[in-house]
Amino acid sequence: MTQAISSEGWFERLIAAVLRAVLRATLRPTFRAGRPIPEQRRRLELITRLTLPARGVAYLAASCGGVPGEFVRASGVVPGSSAILYLHGGAYCVGSHVTHRSVTSHLARRTVANIFVADYRLAPEHPCPAAVDDAIEAYRGLREQGWGPGQIAFVGDSAGGGLTLSTALKLRELGETLPAALVLLSPWVDLGNPDRGQPPPGEVMISLPWVRECAGLYLAGRDARDPLASPIQGELRGLPPTLIQVGQDEILLQDSRRLHAALVAADVPTQLEEYPRRWHVFQANAGVLADADRALESAAGFLRQSWAA
């Protein structure tokens, strides 16, 4: 099922315009082909300190299966019996548990789940399949801590969305029980060079040259058709119910549409939510942008339904 979600009033148009200007002035120059990866990481860490994580959320440094990261939990409530393995975006080269708190904190408030944000190894120091290996170990670590597969979901944004899918494919190959659900926010699922059309004018965060450069660093000579890197190339049958959310003003829109069609063809229960006039991983603007709040509330409802099933 594909659903286009739009309820933008004048005030939200104003907020969106301000956010676009800020993102274009800060993140777009950071995610620039040719800029050294260590510098990109430093800039991203500084910029994301200006975001607005949800109030009433606790962060606990931890590790799962030997993978470092942090648990994110709503404060003042008894954590539920469910858990989320969150895999952050950043084109496999940048990002951390800190840079994505604007998403994970709001998700924690809405799901009352135990969210483990994995600091999987990044390229170019650790090319594919290091990230997949770490995600698998983090999942095993959650299970060792007492959560069953039916109580766990995977959530990932951008490259983390692709990594979520690749991890599920590898777990199935290993014969391990898969989690209850997958939620993919603006997933990057094809590291080759598919025809993504002209970049929409509303894309304010990333560019195709940067995406291609990071793909090369992560692949490090590996075939881009390898499902560990480009999960859309894999056999998708038997995957858990999957929710995909994407903005219509982003260069990875076609990745989400192609993936949704492939999942439908593979008889995987799947939903695609498209948000008009929204940019890459707009959910990071939760607490400010109404569409971001709506999207995360929808994701939380999908997760609750999957855990209940």
What pLDDT does residue 9 have?
79
pTM of the model: 0.95
Set 100, 106, 260, 280: catalytic member: 280
Q: 158 with 91: CB under 8 angstroms?
A: yes
The pLDDT tens digits of the residues spanning 186-200 come to 999 999 988 887 788
**What is the edge-to-edge ordering of all strands in the sheet holding 67-74?**
2-4, 270-275, 242-247, 181-185, 152-157, 83-87, 114-118, 67-74, 57-64
Residue 166 falls in the annotated catalytic set: no
Query: Could you tell me how far CA 109 lies from the centroid of its own chain?
Result: 17
Reported as a pLDDT band with limits 50, 70 and 90, residue 270 is: very high
Set 82, 158, 230, 306: catalytic member: 158
**Helix, strand or coil, per DSSP, at residue 273:** strand
Amino acid at 78: V
How many angstroms separate the CA atoms of 8 and 290, rounded?
A: 8
Residue 250 falls in the annotated catalytic set: yes
The pLDDT tens digits of the residues spanning 156-171 come to 999 999 999 999 999 9
Residue 81 falls in the annotated catalytic set: no
| pLDDT tops 60 at residue 147 | yes
Where on the phi/psi map is residue 233: left (φ > 0), alpha (ψ -120 to 50), or beta?
A: alpha
Nearest CA-CA partner of 231 in 135, 93, 123, 125: 135
187 DSSP assignment: -
Average pLDDT over residues 87-93: 98
